[in-house]
Amino acid sequence: MKSVVFATLTFMFSMLLACSSDAENPNGGEETETEVDRTGNLLSTGASANDILSNARFDRLLIEIAFVEGFRPSPVTMNAFEEFLRENTFKQNIELTYKELPPTGEESLTLTQIDSLEQANRTAYNTGSTLAIYIFFADAPSDGDDLEEGLVTLGAVFRNTSMVIYERTVRTLANRSLSLLISDVETATLNHEFGHLFGLVNLGTVPINDHEDPDAPFHCSENPCLMRAELQFGTSGKAFVQRKHANDVHSSCSLNGLNLIQTMENRVARGIAAAPGLDPECLRDLESNGGRPSTNN
């Protein structure tokens, strides 16, 4: 009897040791938390342009879509976005994951607040042959919005793999339009901002020919183009300047909503697509930096 009890206790003790060993050993089990290397995702906007466009270092693209409850982007938008990526990059292994977040409870959001939310909620980072992108769809407008001056922000990029779409503002402006759908405005905003992660214009991808607008840095001077400099201006004619916040968080682009809506409505009235695509100059730049060759350039 004693031998049976002793054997049972020994078995239980061995199991406890095994569990303790797994918890302490970084390679001991699936539930063990390992330290994540975030350095590759904390670079300046455009720094990962070649990594996104080509398969030289990363052949898989993981995009984490974080959205506040009730502000998930439409399937139409995300399908068009994925098509945009496949058309301009060599990435064919693309995965989009979705993460619902609780309301921020804020009337407006600074980039510093958005950065803090990303640090608290982001789970996707570069690992192995996978390049990770984080896009946050917010339930509050940008803190810099000024409706009287005609400045309403739809989206912004602030790192090499970080972006925010001000989804509440996107929906507000789209719902005021008689000719545009929410997905039209979402798609134009998302693709424009991702164009900057591609390194456009002169933001990590060196232009073949000079087509950067001197009055609106990092934007294209060609017309029509998704990266057109006019998207950087409001109805008052004032340009959106590069916004800087604490902790050196700043946006290389703050896409102006009112002007974008007007541009898209004018295009629809002429019977053409609501948003233009990338012009030949931008397409040539992408190809030179590892992007997929286009038949349009």
Minimal CA–CA distance to 94: which of 103, 102, 106, 84? 84
Averaged pLDDT of the chain = 83
Q: What is the DSSP string of 221-244?
A: -SSS-TTBGGGGB-TTSPBPPPEE
Average pLDDT score over residue span 101-120: 96
Task: Give me the half-sphere count of Cα atoms (radius 13 Å) on the Cβ side of residue 58.
Answer: 22
Find the DSSP H helices in the chain. Answer: 2-24, 49-53, 75-88, 111-121, 167-176, 182-197, 257-269, 280-288
pLDDT reported for residue 158: 92
Determine the Cα–Cα distance for residues 143 and 146; give it in Å rounded to an integer. 9
**What integer pLDDT is reported at residue 20 of this predicted model?**
32
In whole angstroms, give the CA distance from residue 154 to residue 61: 24
pLDDT, greater one: 246 or 121: 121
Output 90 or 262, whichever has higher pLDDT: 90
User: pLDDT tens, 253-295?
Assistant: 656 667 788 889 999 999 999 989 999 999 999 999 999 998 7
Residue 108 carries which DSSP code?
Answer: S
Mean pLDDT (whole number) for 46-64: 98
**pLDDT per residue as tens digits for the range 194-223:** 999 999 999 999 999 999 998 888 999 999
Query: What's the pLDDT at 234?
Result: 35
Burial class (CB in 10 A: 0-12, 13-18, 19+), 24: exposed
**Structure tokens belonging to residue 174:** 């789209």
Residues 145 and 58: their CA atoms lie apart, in Å, by 37
Query: Helices (H) and strands (E) in the chain — how many of each?
Result: 8, 8
DSSP bridge partners of 132: 62
pLDDT at 258: 74
How big is the chain, counted in residues?
297
Cβ burial of 209 (10 Å; 0-12, 13-18, 19+) is exposed
- According to DSSP, residue 248 is labeled G
Place of tokens 């004619």: 237
**pTM score of the predicted model:** 0.83
